[in-house]
Amino acid sequence: MADNSPLLDVSNLRVAFPTRTGMAEAVRGVSFTLGREKLGIVGESGSGKSMTGRSILRLVPPPGRVSADRLAFRGEDLLAASARRMRDIRGRRIAIVMQDPKYSLNPVMTVGHQIAEAYRVHSKAGAAEAKRRALEMLAAVRIRDPERVYDRYPHEVSGGMGQRIMIAMMLIPDPDLLIADEPTSALDVTVQMQVLAILDDLCSQRGMGMIFVSHDLNLVASFCDRILIMYAGRVVESCRASELHAAQHPYTRGLLASLPRIDEPPGDLPVLSRDPAWLEG
Amino acid sequence: MTARTDTPSAGWRDWLTTDTPHSRAQARLGRAWAGWAAFRRNRLAVAGLLIVLALVVVAALAPVLAPYHPYAQDLNGRLLPPSAAHWLGTDAFGRDILSRLIHGARLTLMIVALVAATAPLAGLVIGTAAGYFGGWVDTVLMRITDIALAFPKLILALAFVAALGPGIENAVIAIAITSWPPYARIARAETLTVRRADFISAARLQGASSLRIILGHIMPLCVASLIVRTTLDMAGVILTAAGLGFLGLGAQPPLPEWGAMIASGRQYVLEQWWVAAMPGFAIFIVSLGFNLLGDGLRDVLDPKGD
Amino acid sequence: MMIDIRDLRVRFGQGVDTVTAVDGVTLSVREGESFGLVGESGSGKSTVLRAVSGLNDEWTGRIAVAGTEQGPVRQKGFYKLCQMVFQDPYGSLHPRHTVDRILAEPIAIHGLGDADARIDRVLRDVGLGPSFRFRYPHQLSGGQRQRVAIARALVLEPRVLLLDEPTSALDVSVQAEILNLLRRLRMEHGLTLVLVTHNLAVVANLCDRLAVMNRGRLVEEMSVEDLRRGAAREPYTLQLLRASQGYDRATAESFRDYA
């Protein structure tokens, strides 16, 4: 890759929500850089992993507040960008795929129309061109009969197909970065693997960077290049995915140990005892 | 962290807001306290509550508060404008309007209380039964509700009063009979959203009877939105009662019912405006009070926005 | 045999919209056994469980529990024998009932005395102290809620516990705690467990034997030892096993639909 500067540069990212007793921080000083790679963010519920993903696109629901020493996408400061500029970046440059496609698709528009629309908003292409691209994209996410699916409404497609359609819609403007927030958690394992294969191919073919947010350690370890492990709003450990089994932090080790495994005999699983010191380190 | 103080009130607050209550009563009070804390933050709702409480106090202490007897006529002092002797003026029979309004608060409160105690209850029973059992029970109950809903409310109330004879009790019955269907619809809708919930399935798997599930599990979840709706409807009930009174079909003279008072003042409305305007103002204040209270209760009991 | 199911069929809908959710399932679970029912969504695994529990009465075939043939509508006594724990701990507890009320309800329904002692005992049994007794569900974490749900199932001292994805809504560290709890309760109370899940690792951890379902049919039954060795006979089971071992580009390519 000729361009060696990172796609995304995040330093001391914080997300805070006002509560009755003061500000509660969901993300507390997260820093990382992302190149053209698959970065996994893993953690339990409440660890701030989803908020980290969303805050990059400034999609934190109000009254939450995002701050950072640096939050730059290809050198451009995202925190300083105007609302108009952010709209342009969202979708065209950075795409996001969420867990449940049902809430992200417009129920009264055919899926093909929505994908074509997503293309036209960013490219000013004609209707015929947009439809052609949309059909190509549906084929790219391995939908067998794109013409037929094009005219379906969201409620007429299965969960796995809905998630593929979402991915097609998010990727049709050819973004540089994809943020995938538990994109396959609602899917059956086999469908999950097929959807991941599609994401994998799109990443390697287009040189796209990806942030993959998930609670599933094994999945992230086998799918991503690099992993951040989050606990209580902080990154407690980061490592290469292939070296997750050699993780150092007691939280990571505890999580790994608490996973039941098919190849181990039945018996009590080690239970994670949380050390208050992890909150600060 | 907030600093702990050793005043007794802080002790009570800790006892109420603890995450580990030690008895049923403490858990219940703690929950009520949390609701009150949320309610208190809405200033307008507190204002509404104060208005409604004021209505209750005025009604309870009417004989003490009223400067004159509500029926005491003074034919020499007819249609006097507001003055130091008669703060809100006098009506066509020389009766003190303030005293009549204060005694009228009792009638208003009685109407409100009777309607609030009957119509939502009927709606709750019919709606939850229809929603829980479904099938033909639902069909029959909801068609009856549809029929009742299809009549214009005031016209149906008029018909009932015409059949039962004029009078405040009959007006209350008529209002109650015409206002249950919306409650039944709300209760049914709430029931439909929870009847497939796992906690209802769990109750069935405990061996709970349908009656037990409806009473103990479904109704508590419908009550919140019904209370809110009832409170918001009270303004309408007061207005309907006043409307019936105005038409001469509700409270009969010389009862100091507010609607009837407006009716008796209408022929003087251009020259002696206070005769009709003062009871109108009372209706306005009390209706507003119930509306504000209802909005506040919705925030506390029915936080669908969150 | 604790549970004996013969040729169970469940259909939903009528006319052309009829969906056969369970299509002739026969299986049996021995007393004291922990049995896993595995499959993907739409496989009918939960439908089988709901038919056994008595929640679903639209089935044909034969279901016997503890030697007694069960009809679609259950006698009250059945619920003392067989209880169920649901997947979502946020949906399975009544939001306006305290833990105390939730646990007192079954005692009241079945007219068992000594409610206070029973509630205290069962709370201790699931690892929650008496300090949890008067809390509302919103004051509990997901794992604590699931413990309350398990306590509610245990308060009637059943012999069979039906578990519908009891850990899939929980974080992995909490999942480990709940699995350990279920294992201990099974030993202490001699429970028969039927665990419905999509997670083969959970089955491997908690069960003795399992059945794999796909599209309403039973694909195969096997012991957990065979599962551990990857010794499945059916290609569908082998595919499920491969999919459970994490992402692999080549493996994902090989997946196909089994009808």
Count of domains for chain B: 1
Interval B144-175: pLDDT, tens: 999 888 878 778 878 888 888 888 888 888 88
* Chain A CA closest to residue C207: A266
Cβ of C171 and A269 within 8 Å? Answer: no
Distance CA C9, CA C20 (A): 7
pLDDT at site A2:
44
Which residue segment(s) compose the domain that B202 sits in? 42-66+92-301
CATH of the domain at B240: 1.10.3720.10
Q: Which residues of chain A have pLDDT under 70?
A: 1-4, 101-103, 281
* Chain C CA closest to residue B197: C91
Find which of C19, C87, C173 to mutate to test the A interface (most A CBs within 10 Å of its CB): C173
Residue B305 has pLDDT above 80, yes or no: no
**For the residues B94-104, what does the mean pLDDT come to?**
91
Could you give the C-alpha distances from B240 to A123, B150, B156, B162, in angstroms and in order?
60, 17, 11, 15
Q: Is residue B171 in a domain?
A: yes
From the list C173, C199, C246, the residue facing A44 with the nearest CB is C173
ipTM attached to this prediction: 0.91
Q: Are A212 and A220 in contact (CB under 8 A)?
A: yes
pLDDT at site A227:
95
Q: What are phi and psi of B32, to 5 degrees?
A: -60, -40
Residue B271 has pLDDT above 90, yes or no: no
Interval C52-103: pLDDT, tens: 999 998 899 999 999 999 998 899 899 999 999 999 998 999 998 999 999 9
- DSSP assignments along C105-145, one per residue: HHHHHTT-S-HHHHHHHHHHHTT--GGGTT--GGGS-HHHH
Cβ of A197 and C224 within 8 Å? Answer: no
pLDDT at site B11:
78
Q: Would you place residue B306 in the very low, low, confident or very high pLDDT band (cuts 50, 70, 90)?
A: very low
Cβ of C247 and A159 within 8 Å? Answer: no
Q: Is residue B35 in a domain?
A: no
Could you give the C-alpha distances from A269 to A67, B286, C43, C164, C177, in angstroms and in order?
39, 64, 29, 20, 8
pTM of the model: 0.87
Q: Is residue B225 in a domain?
A: yes
Q: Are A51 and A43 in contact (CB under 8 A)?
A: no
pLDDT at site A173:
85
Q: Is residue B32 in a domain?
A: no
pLDDT at site B302:
65
Cβ of B202 and C95 within 8 Å? Answer: no
Residue type, A71: L
Cβ of C110 and B199 within 8 Å? Answer: no
pLDDT at site B2:
42
Q: Is residue B259 in a domain?
A: yes
Q: Is residue B4 in a domain?
A: no
Residue B3 has pLDDT above 50, yes or no: no
Residue found by looking up tokens 């209350």 in the block: B172
A130 touches chain C (CB under 8 A): no
Interval C96-148: pLDDT, tens: 899 999 999 999 999 998 899 999 999 999 999 888 999 999 889 999 999 99
pLDDT at site C162:
97
pLDDT at site C156:
93
Interval C168-223: pLDDT, tens: 889 999 999 999 999 999 999 999 999 999 999 999 999 999 999 999 999 999 99
Nearest chain C CA: its distance from A267 CA (Å): 7
Q: Would you place residue B303 in the very low, low, confident or very high pLDDT band (cuts 50, 70, 90)?
A: low
Residue C246 has pLDDT above 90, yes or no: no
pLDDT at site B201:
94
User: Average per-residue pLDDT in chain B?
Assistant: 86
From the list C83, C86, C97, the residue facing B198 with the nearest CB is C86
Q: Are C135 and C99 in contact (CB under 8 A)?
A: yes
Cβ of C200 and A271 within 8 Å? Answer: no
Q: What percent of chain B has pLDDT over 90?
A: 36
* Chain C CA closest to residue B25: C134
C198: which chain A residues are within 8 Å (Cβ-Cβ)? 188-189
Nearest chain C CA: its distance from A229 CA (Å): 14
C136: which chain B residues are within 8 Å (Cβ-Cβ)? 27, 31
pLDDT at site A189:
85
pLDDT at site B266:
83
Q: Is residue B12 in a domain?
A: no
C241: which chain A residues are within 8 Å (Cβ-Cβ)? 262
Min mean pLDDT across A129-138, B25-34, B201-210, C236-245 is at B25-34
From the list B205, B216, B221, the residue facing C53 with the nearest CB is B205
pLDDT at site A266:
84
* Chain C CA closest to residue A251: C173
Residue B304 has pLDDT above 60, yes or no: no
Domains and their CATH numbers in chain C:
3-254 (3.40.50.300)
pLDDT at site C16:
78
Neighbours of chain B (3+ CB pairs under 8 A): C
Q: Is residue B82 in a domain?
A: no
Q: Are B45 and B232 in contact (CB under 8 A)?
A: no
Min mean pLDDT across A123-137, B126-140, C155-169 is at A123-137
